[in-house]
Every structure is written in structure tokens, then in C-alpha cells.
């Protein structure tokens, strides 16, 4: 671990966007090359997944202890889907007394799984005092849109139907996710509304991608490369997941829903050094205009992907802050 004084020397020339500076240790990591921008689009999906898994292991600090975990097999319309439940200290399966969060990992619906996001799920579980059910939904390009949507919606309904045996309060089940997972959480919320089903108690959208691939970084071209998630990669994710005809489908791009009224209260997290940040900001505006309660937290010094960068002290602080917002929403604090 580099000393603070060494990091300051190495980051004398600060990276800035709209007058805000990137966290020094995040900048140091980018410039050191630990985030060397190996081109995911040049890899096969299998190689990209393996590379991302290794990267997540490098960038995660040791998580807090949960009471226990449980491996799940979740029935889906297409078969079954793996899942993992995390229990906070003091939670007991069968009581139905603890709020729950159905969590969808990020990775452009192409990379990532419940293992790459194991640490953030543990952090959310403990800090928000909720049972977290992480969903290992099907990935593209092997399974294109709407496969992931179907899996995530089916998982949400399965958790609702089995809340008591999972130890979850059936009237306080949230959905959430980071990046593509935030997209899926927003879509699950809209489908539940449209089908007249119970909607999530709250939706936690962490730097979500909510529009078509052409939208990413349109307003801030300086963010299209150099901060982990670049424009080429978002295009690759979109090509893997969506056919051309699906790009403006609101189940793939919920920013384009005809109406945002009646959706669940939202916690929307955005980051200054993220080419998707404008999509989150626009979604907040649409929700507010539709009368949906929204808490918007914008981190001015962090990049896309920070919830899987807990080796950074500033990222750990931000995760704790967003987890506190979730805890307040779920527990009424």
C-alpha cells in the first residue's frame, strides 16, 4: 500500500471534470496501470469474465463478517438460477423479521456474477441490516435480451413468495444493483407496476445504465475513456445484450418508459467520473416529475464501478453512505 505522501506526489496533476477532482487513490490506481485498459471487446466473453473476476479480487478489501450465507437454486420460467443469501448478525431464517434486498450484479449483462459482487453484498447486508439475495442471472451474448430481465423478475417474485422461509419481511423487499444491475432493478420495478404486482419497497440504483448505448457519455466526451468503463466497452455490452430493434425498448432502457408514475421510491447513486452519470441524473428528474420519492446521492470524486473497489478508502466510505441510505429506507430510520 502506497503512503499518502507518495500518492500525493504521484497525483500532483489532478484529474478533474466540471471542477471536481477524482479521489487521489483512485487516480493513482488508474495511472499506475492496475486499471490498465485492456480492451474487453477484444476478448471472448469467457476471457472477459475471467479477467473481470481477477480484477475484482485485486480491488476488493476484506468484507465485514455476515452471520451466514446460503446457496440458493431459484426456479425460473427457463429452468433454475443460482443465488446466494446473506444474513446480517441477529437475523434468523424463518422469522420474516428482517428487510430484504434482491441484488443484481453489474457487468453489462456480459461479465460478472455472484462471486465478483460477493464483497459488496456482504457490506450491504451488514451496513443496511438486511438479508441480501444475490441473483446469478443469465448473461449475454449466449442469452440475449430479455433473458436477464426474465431471470431478475422471476427471482424477485420467488423471494416475495418465499420471504418467510428466507427470513425476510415480506412487506419490505427492495431491489437493487450496480451499473447493468441497476438497469435490471429499475426494469423489474416497472414490470411489477405494469403487471399489477406488489412493487419493491425501494429500488437502489447504483450508477445505473438506463438508456440506449448511444446515450452513454454523450454530454461529457472527456469521460469516454480513461476511467475504467469506456465507450467501446459500453458499445460491446450493448451489442452482446440487445438486438438493434431492442435499443429503445423500455425493458432494456427504462429511461424511455412512457410513464414513470407509480414506480417504487428510489435511491439513485451517481458518480462524477462515470460516463453513465447523466443517465442517472435524467432518471432522477423523470421520477421526481412523476411524483416518485427519490433520494439522489452524487459522489463527486469517484469513478464508475467503485462498489467493487473497496480497496480504496474513499470507496468504502461511499459504500457505507449508500448502505446507510438503504438502511434508513428499509427500517424507517
The pLDDT of residue 60 is above 70: yes
The domain spans of the chain are 31-331
What's the rounded mean pLDDT across residues 9-35? 85
Q: What is the pLDDT of residue 306?
A: 98
Instruction: Please give the share of the chain, as a percent, with pLDDT higher than 70.
Output: 95
Residue pLDDT, tens place only, 43-59 = 999 999 999 999 999 99
CA–CA distances in Å: residue 203 to residues 84, 101, 243, 265, 317: 19, 9, 27, 6, 21
Q: What is the pLDDT of residue 167?
A: 94
Q: What is the pLDDT of residue 211?
A: 94
Residue pLDDT, tens place only, 278-294 = 999 999 999 999 999 99
User: Chain-wide mean pLDDT for the chain?
Assistant: 94
CA–CA distances in Å: residue 46 to residues 24, 137, 243: 33, 16, 20
pTM: 0.96
The pLDDT of residue 67 is above 80: yes
Q: What is the pLDDT of residue 2?
A: 78
- List, as one string, the DSSP characters of 246-288: GTT-TTT-GGG-S--TTPPPEEEEEEEE-TTHHHHHHHHHHHH
**Which CATH number describes the domain made up of 31-331?**
3.40.50.1820
Report the distance separating Cα 30 and Cα 68, nearest Å.
35
List, by residue number, the catalytic residues: 179, 274, 304
Q: Pinpoint the alpha helices (H) of the chain.
A: 4-10, 24-32, 45-59, 118-128, 147-161, 163-166, 180-194, 231-241, 277-289, 313-331
Q: What is the pLDDT of residue 8?
A: 83
- Give the model's confidence band at 36: pLDDT under 50 very low, under 70 low, under 90 confident, else very high: low
The pLDDT of residue 35 is above 70: no
Residue pLDDT, tens place only, 122-177 = 999 999 999 999 999 999 999 999 999 999 999 999 999 999 999 999 999 999 99
What's the rounded mean pLDDT across residues 229-243? 94
Report the distance separating Cα 176 and Cα 170, nearest Å.
16
Q: What is the pLDDT of residue 253?
A: 97
Amino acid at each position: 500500500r502506497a503512503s499518502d505522501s507518495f500518492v500525493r506526489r504521484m497525483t500532483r496533476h489532478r484529474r478533474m471534470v466540471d471542477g471536481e477532482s477524482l479521489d487521489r487513490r483512485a487516480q493513482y490506481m488508474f495511472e499506475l496501470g492496475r486499471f490498465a485498459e485492456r480492451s474487453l471487446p477484444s476478448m471472448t466473453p469467457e476471457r472477459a469474465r475471467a479477467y473481470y473476476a481477477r480484477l475484482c479480487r485485486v480491488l476488493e478489501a476484506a468484507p465485514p463478517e455476515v452471520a451466514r450465507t446460503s446457496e440458493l437454486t431459484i426456479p425460473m420460467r427457463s429452468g433454475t438460477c443460482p443465488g446466494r443469501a446473506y444474513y446480517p448478525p441477529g437475523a434468523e431464517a424463518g422469522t420474516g423479521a428482517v428487510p430484504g434486498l434482491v441484488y443484481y450484479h453489474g457487468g453489462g449483462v456480459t461479465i460478472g456474477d455472484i462471486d465478483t459482487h460477493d464483497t459488496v453484498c456482504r457490506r450491504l447486508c451488514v451496513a443496511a441490516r438486511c438479508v441480501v439475495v444475490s441473483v446469478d442471472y443469465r448473461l449475454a451474448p449466449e442469452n440475449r435480451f430479455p433473458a436477464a430481465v426474465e431471470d431478475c423478475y422471476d427471482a424477485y417474485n420467488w423471494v416475495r413468495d418465499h420471504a418467510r422461509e428466507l427470513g425476510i419481511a415480506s412487506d419490505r423487499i427492495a431491489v437493487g444493483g450496480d451499473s447493468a444491475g441497476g438497469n435490471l432493478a429499475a426494469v423489474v420495478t416497472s414490470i411489477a407496476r405494469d403487471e399489477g404486482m406488489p412493487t419493491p419497497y425501494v429500488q437502489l440504483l447504483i450508477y445505473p445504465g438506463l438508456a440506449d448505448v448511444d446515450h452513454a457519455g454523450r454530454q461529457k466526451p472527456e469521460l469516454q475513456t480513461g476511467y475504467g468503463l469506456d465507450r467501446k466497452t459500453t458499445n460491446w455490452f450493448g451489442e452482446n445484450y440487445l438486438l438493434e430493434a431492442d435499443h429503445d425498448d423500455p425493458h432494456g432502457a427504462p429511461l424511455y418508459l412512457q410513464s414513470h408514475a407509480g414506480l417504487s421510491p428510489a435511491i439513485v447513486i451517481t458518480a462524477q467520473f462515470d460516463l453513465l452519470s447523466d443517465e442517472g441524473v435524467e432518471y432522477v428528474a423523470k421520477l421526481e416529475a412523476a411524483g416518485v420519492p427519490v433520494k439522489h446521492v452524487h459522489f463527486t470524486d469517484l469513478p464508475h464501478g467503485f462498489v467493487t473497489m473497496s480497496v480504496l478508502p474513499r470507496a468504502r466510505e461511499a459504500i457505507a453512505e449508500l448502505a446507510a441510505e438503504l438502511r434508513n429506507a428499509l427500517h424507517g430510520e
